[in-house]
Homo-oligomer: A and B are copies of this chain.
Amino acid sequence: MQTISNQKPSATKSDSATPGSGNSELLQLETWLPYRLFRISTRVADVLNAFYGPKYGFSRSAWRTMAIIANRPGASAKEICQAGGLDQFSVSRAVKQLVELGFARRTSGRSDRRYAAIELSESGWAAFTEISNVAKRLDADLTSAVSSEELALLDGILARLDNASAGILARGWRGATEPVADEPGAPAAKRDA
């Protein structure tokens, strides 16, 4: 590999501006926590997608949807949205895809017929089981890098980070650092350090 440049910002040639502006340290993407989490998760998700994508022909949204309805058979589209962090359009299209491929079906035989009530078919369960096994193996592969004590620690830390991230999302980029009302679905966690 041929390294072209490895200058520090301060060594930038004069017509390129320097950070300056009262900014003590440059942000480094590689050490920014959300980016680190992103890298790990997308690598694994990409590998899983490389399995189910070609084999079953559905999208990431469809896989997420499938995984959600596997745990909540008969869920409505709205419930899937909430559980999976997907918007209603994605869910609608994902369900459509799964139904067309024969992995899911809609049964609207309830009192309120606005709701969809989606569940997996035989082949849907088969596909889910197979993808799950790969997912579990990847997870085991990933977590084999850390001890079980660390994993337990990580579990607690992630629960709180998840909670904090929900707060950040709710407040938006303007948001001051204020506690936010409990979000539904997230495990209760104290922000106390």
Contact = CB atoms under 8 A, between A and B. Distances in A.
A44 B36 contact: no
A160 B132 contact: no
A129 B19 contact: yes
Interface string A114-139: 01010111101110110011111011
A129 to B, nearest CB: 5
Q: Copies of this chain, how many?
A: 2
Given A16-B120, A39-B162, A161-B40, A168 B141 contact: yes
Interface of A: 1-7, 9, 12-13, 16-21, 23, 26-30, 32-48, 50-51, 64, 67-68, 70-76, 79, 83-85, 110, 112, 115, 117, 119-122, 124-126, 128-129, 132-136, 138-148, 150, 153-154, 157-158, 160-169, 172-173, 175, 177, 184, 189, 191, 193
